Amino acid sequence: MPRGQKSKIHAREKHHQARGETQAYGNAQETAENISETAEESSAACQSKSKAKSSSLPKAPQKATPTPTVILSSSSSESDENSHEENEPSVQNECPFLHRDLIANRAVILLKSLLHNYNLKQLTTKEEMLKVITKRYENDFPEILRKAAEKLEDAFAVEVREVNSSQPSYNLISKLKLPNNGRIRAGKGLPKTGFLMSILGIILIQGNCASEEEIWKILRKKKIYPGKKHRIFGEPRKLMTQYLVKLKYLEYRQVADSDPPRYEFLWGPQAHAETSKMKVIEYLAKINKTTPSAISPLYQEALKDEQERAEARDE
C-alpha cells in the first residue's frame, strides 16, 4: 500500500478515536446532571416537608402519600420507609438478578443523600446511611456504599471518605485541591472537579492545547453555553476563564498573530502539579467504560510523561 494512503488511513483512525474519547466527557456530565437534578428535588422536598411540619397547627394527622424524593431523604419518617418496603419483595425470597437490581437502586438513593448533604456542607453519618437504605439492606451496606462511591467518582471526580472514626461519618472529598472542597466559591454548591477533569481531558485530546471554539463546540452538544448559568457549574465561561485561570488550573491565552483575536486553553501549572496525563486518561477511560491502554496515542504519551516525572523526582 502506498505510504500516502497509509498516512490517510492512520489519520482517519486517529480522528475517529479522538471523537470516541471526547464522548467520555458527555457521559460524565450527563451522569452528573441526572444525579444533581434528583438530589435537588430531594432537597426541595425535604425542606418543604420540614417547613410544613413547623408551620402547621395541631390537627388530626393526615397520611401523606410518600414520593420518591421524600423517601430519598435521610429525614424520611419511619412510616414512609415502611410503606416503601412493603412494595418490595423480601430480600430472602428474591432471585439473584432482582436482588442485584435492588442493590443498584439503593446505591443511587444513597448517593443522592450524600450529594444532598455535600450541597448543604454537612457530613453524612453511617446511621443516616443505614436509615436511607433501610434495615432490610443493612447487610448489603458495604456493597451499596461501594457502588454509590463509584458513581460519584465518575460523575464528579470526588471520593467518598470516612472523616470521623469516633462517630463514623462520610464526606465527598475533591480529587483535586480546589477551594472549598471542590466548590471553588464559598457557600453551598456541587463539586466542579469532574468538570475541570473533563476540560483537561479535552485539552489533552486536542494535542495539549484546545481552541476556545473547539471547547465550546463540545460543551454546546451537552447544552452548556457561554453566558448561560448551568445548574451544576454556574456560568461556565466565567468558571473557565476567570476562576480556574486564577487558580492556575487552566491557562487562557490569545492565539499568536490572530486577527480578530482568538483564544486557546492549556493546562495550568496547578493542574500539572496536582494531576497527570495518566490520571486524566484513567478518568476518561473509566467513565467511557474502557481501559487507558485502549486510548493508544494518549496512553503512550501519558506513559512517557509518568517516566519523566519519576526521573525528575529521583533527581
As a whole number of angstroms, the distance between CA 98 and CA 32 comes to: 26
pLDDT of residue 55: 43
State how beta strands 250-254 and 210-211 pair: unpaired
Q: How far is CA 253 from CA 225, 269, 273, in A?
A: 20, 14, 20
Any idea which architecture 34-49+69-174 has in CATH? Orthogonal Bundle (1.10)
- Each residue's pLDDT expressed in tens, for the chain with a length of 315 residues: 555 554 544 554 454 444 443 444 555 555 566 555 544 444 444 444 444 444 443 443 333 322 222 212 222 233 333 334 444 544 545 577 788 899 999 999 999 999 999 999 999 999 999 999 999 999 999 999 999 999 999 999 999 999 876 788 999 999 999 999 999 988 888 999 999 999 999 999 999 999 999 999 999 998 999 999 998 889 999 999 999 999 999 999 999 999 999 999 999 999 999 999 999 999 988 888 888 888 767 888 888 888 888 888 877
C-alpha of 279 from chain center: 15
Nine-digit cell string for 64: 401523606
Contact 160, 170 (CB under 8 A): yes
As a whole number of angstroms, the distance between CA 182 and CA 174 comes to: 5
Maximum C-alpha span of the chain = 87
CA nearest neighbour of 157 among 286, 34, 278: 286
Enclosing H/E stretch for 83: helix 78-86
Report domain extents, the chain.
9-28+183-314, 34-49+69-174
Contact 224, 166 (CB under 8 A): no
Radius of gyration of the chain (CA): 23
pLDDT of residue 33: 61
Is 1.10.10.1210 the CATH classification of the domain at 9-28+183-314? yes
As a whole number of angstroms, the distance between CA 125 and CA 19 comes to: 42
As a whole number of angstroms, the distance between CA 90 and CA 106 comes to: 15
What order of strands is seen across the sheet that includes strand 263-267? 210-211, 263-267, 250-254
Domain 9-28+183-314 matches domain 34-49+69-174 at the CATH topology level: yes
Give the type of residue at 105: N
3-state secondary structure of 282: helix
